[in-house]
Structure 1
Amino acid sequence: MLNIRYEKTATPKELPAKNDPLKFGTIFTDHMFVMDYETVKGWHDARIIPYQPISLDPSAMVFHYGQEMFEGLKAYKTEDGRVLLFRPNKNIERANNTNRRICIPEIPEEDFLQAIKEVVKTDEAWIPTKPGTSLYIRPFIIATDPFLGVRPSDTYKFIIILSPVGAYYPEGLDPVKIWIEDEYVRAVKGGIGEAKTGANYVASLKSQVKAHEEGYSQVLWLDGVNRKYIEEVGAMNIFFKIDGKIVTPVLNGSILPGVTRDSVICLCKEWGLPVEERKIDIAEIKKAYEDGTLEEVFGSGTAAVISPVGQLRWEDTIMQVRDGGIGEYSQKLYDTITGIQLGKEKDILGWTVEV
């Protein structure tokens, strides 16, 4: 168990107003968790301190070689006042998988979970309670050695910051338009596509800008070798309902193993829906659209939970899904998962952890 020291802020910030829209990633709470690593000491000096800037040497290795990882999960306030985390152990497992891939020392699962719980408890007053809102939790690790040279760092900082966020869809589920990228590549098997690290996201920016200019909100990536197999959207995994079956790309080493993705698969199987994890050729999706068997398309991720897709564009083909509306299972999955997160639905799969 971590021995955490506490330094409470002497100047608490004003909490957001009840009707504040809470734009994602723009407001931060009073405190943050910090823990250091040195090769000789291991992880040590766990502390909760006032939210503040980080002071690093200009030669800190994170700036030059990109050795860093991050995670994202949420805390929810139930109607009876409990605070719940949704499957935090899956995020911790993924974080340590990322750590192993990019040579960052792992953090024991129980220590990681304790750190999350304690910082959330400290700033519990910041958890919003309006429908659809939550407290976003961002754990991350950065390499801090002041050294110019390509090798793993000997020192690191593990930090957790918190941000109250509004409903992803303030007016209810809103289908998105997705651009299928056929020029640039984000990741390949054997690379770092399955790790949650900043390099994966910066690689997607060029296509994201191009998609926005064309009026599309997200980019769907194809595989980097054959340039025809569907992988994932920039900030979420992707699902298709084709002729009664739920189909999603199989995890292949270049796709992020999403926690919400896993939850969707588990729920669909629980409901008796056939689920296939396999290679999906973009030509198959076009054919399903043309013959009328493409029944639903939706994304899954921490921020939006479920994001219905109303339109796909591949090359010169524009595929309108369900006339741009919301599918039956997109809505059912969204309602079920958010219901479990908020303590309104029975958690038969044991996914929530009370803080």
Structure 2
Amino acid sequence: MIEWSQETITAFQKTLLNWYDQHKRDLPWRKDHDPYHVWVSEIMLQQTQVQTVIPYYLRFMKEFPTVQALADADEAHLMKAWEGLGYYSRARNLQKAARQIVTDYHGQWPTTVKGLQELSGVGPYTAGAIASIAFNQPVAAIDGNAFRVFSRLLEIDDDVAKPQTRKVFENVVDQIISKDRPGDFNQAIMDLGTSYMSAANYDSSHSPVKEFNQAYLDGIEDQFPVKTKKKRPVRHDFFALVLHADNQILFDKRPSTGILANFLMFPMFDQHDLIKDKSDSQEVLIHRVEEQMSTEDRLPVHLHQLPAKPVIHTFTHQQWHITLLRGSLPADSDLSYFPGKWIQIDHFNDIAFPKVQLKMWQAYQKAIAKK
């Protein structure tokens, strides 16, 4: 790892911030330094690209303009505003944290990294971003961009996939960050990491900080950051049941914990749980779904597979392959033993569905349109 002198640090700060002042991205959450705006934007930007976030952010601020409004929001309203962004625990944690600020902090934001991390869903990076941008605290905000930028600038070869490596980068950046403009410094690193020093198609020969980029100068930029590969998501095969009665579809409520907790979705069955013998055919497994619906949920139904490719949806550690099955039930079916309810198709737009459910509905509509 390269170590910079104070003279080099000062020169880097000046070069970086001059470039940022002239070329920073025009983003709606940068119109001010309000901690609420910074916080919501940073949570939305986790796992989601900037251009996707912008319209969501603008709508979210219109629906929930203050911490108090978010704290008071009905959960269904909040989930609908978040629909399509995925990783719904982020939205639930936002509301939990908003209620902490209103109740525990009497509406006053904690201003330090340590204090901010007491809020639900706020980790080291988000705390650093809020503390530096909203409260001018000279602290690092280490995300994927910062890992990439500083690993190349200083040829830091610590594995960024290891949790302990964050501390290495935090210590380095805390020495380099501008004490006068820490928020702008961290945001400039974000912009640099999405442009001249991006993960792919980077353009260091035109970068404003190329003279400080040791990996570029040594011709080994493609070797940074050092990162061990993630394990591939584990595949899970499911059946999803599209059960209809006139203009209604039967939905199941997901368990209160785990993936997509509490969301309404088509009833789903893990195919692995249905297999009793390696030779079991798809038809045999579908028959077992019918048996389970009849015995456990008291809903006798005949199912047939729709002529559609399986719906594929990838989570961080899982990839779902979902085969759609269709069936019908009387609208007055007894749902006493079933953890769900009928929903009018006309009311779908009023309900927040997870992205995988929206994919399944689109695949279903496309399949029946071919008939």
Question: Normalising to structure 1: TM-score of the pair?
Answer: 0.25
Structure with bigger RCO (C-alpha 8 Å, 6+ apart): 1
Give the structure with the larger helix fraction.
2
Over alpha carbons, which structure has the higher Rg?
A: 2
Question: Normalising to structure 2: TM-score of the pair?
Answer: 0.24
Give the structure with the larger strand fraction.
1
